[in-house]
Amino acid sequence: MLSIMLDKIEQLAKEKAFERLSNAEKALVLSMMPREEYDQIRRMLQTAEAMDASVVAPERLRARVMAQFPKSEGIKVNLWLALGILAMGWGMMWVVRPVVMQEKQVPVIQQKTDTVWVERIKWHEKVVYKTRLVPAPAPLPEPIALQPVPSNIIPAAPLYLPDPTTQQAIGTSLGDTPELMSFFTQGDQGK
């Protein structure tokens, strides 16, 4: 990070004097060095550029350096070697050929907890067993000893009344539910 900031300051010193820097650039320079050091770097860079422009290598030195390196006559390629390399390249392309991928449509099953997805309706017979509790008949009272009855009086026959709890109506009358009555009588309308 430090080297990046120093490179940026060096670039600024090559291009601008301290007075021509923007406020942000001045803040960057002053965070790293004082103004006198920036001016010194700027003078040194300008002097180095002028010195580098005037330096030219002598022709004799250049010729001696180039004489040290052998001259190349170009690259000679053997025909059989080139054909072998091409054959190996073709063989490697056969071995490393791209694999053909086939797309297959696979249905994705999503599970959601807040939504009901109905795939298929299955009908189940529902059998409802209804039970009715019938109270057990009350036990008969124990016979009471009676005084003798004169024989000329005929006792009255006992009256047996049905228990009202056992006389409950089972089912519903069609007269009570008109929608059932219309359901049972609809069949004759289509004929």
Residue 162 has pLDDT above 80, yes or no: no
- The pLDDT > 70 percentage for the chain reads 64
Give me 153's structure tokens: 């009086």
Query: Do 137 and 164 form a contact (C-beta atoms < 8 A)?
Result: no
40-67 tens-digit pLDDT: 999 998 888 877 777 777 788 878 888 8
> In the predicted model, is pLDDT for residue 144 greater than 70?
no
The predicted pLDDT at position 37 comes to 92
Query: What's the angle, vertex CA 163, arms to CA 157 and CA 169, rounded to 5?
Result: 135
Q: How far apart are CA 97 and CA 92, in angstroms?
A: 8
Which pLDDT score, from 0 to 100, does residue 87 have?
92
Q: Which residue has the tokens 């010193």?
A: 13
| Whether pLDDT at 79 is above 80 | yes
pLDDT band at 157 (very low <50, low <70, confident <90, very high): low
pLDDT for position 116: 59
Most confident of 2-6, 25-29, 113-117, 118-122: 25-29
Q: Where are the domains of the chain?
A: 1-41
Dist. CA 181–CA 188, nearest whole Å: 12
Residue 79 contacts residue 48 (beta carbons within 8 Å): no
Helices 23-32 and 2-15: crossing angle, nearest 10°? 120
pLDDT of residue 39: 92
CA distance 87 to 93: 10
**Contacts for 45 with CB less than 8 Å, ≥ 6 apart:** 10, 13, 14
* Tens digit of each residue's pLDDT (9 = 90 or more) over 98-120: 777 777 777 777 666 666 565 66
What value, to the nearest 5°, has the Cα angle with vertex 185 and ends 182 and 189?
110
Closest CA to 177 of 166, 187, 185: 185
- Find all residues with CB under 8 Å of 149, minimum gap 6, and list them: 155
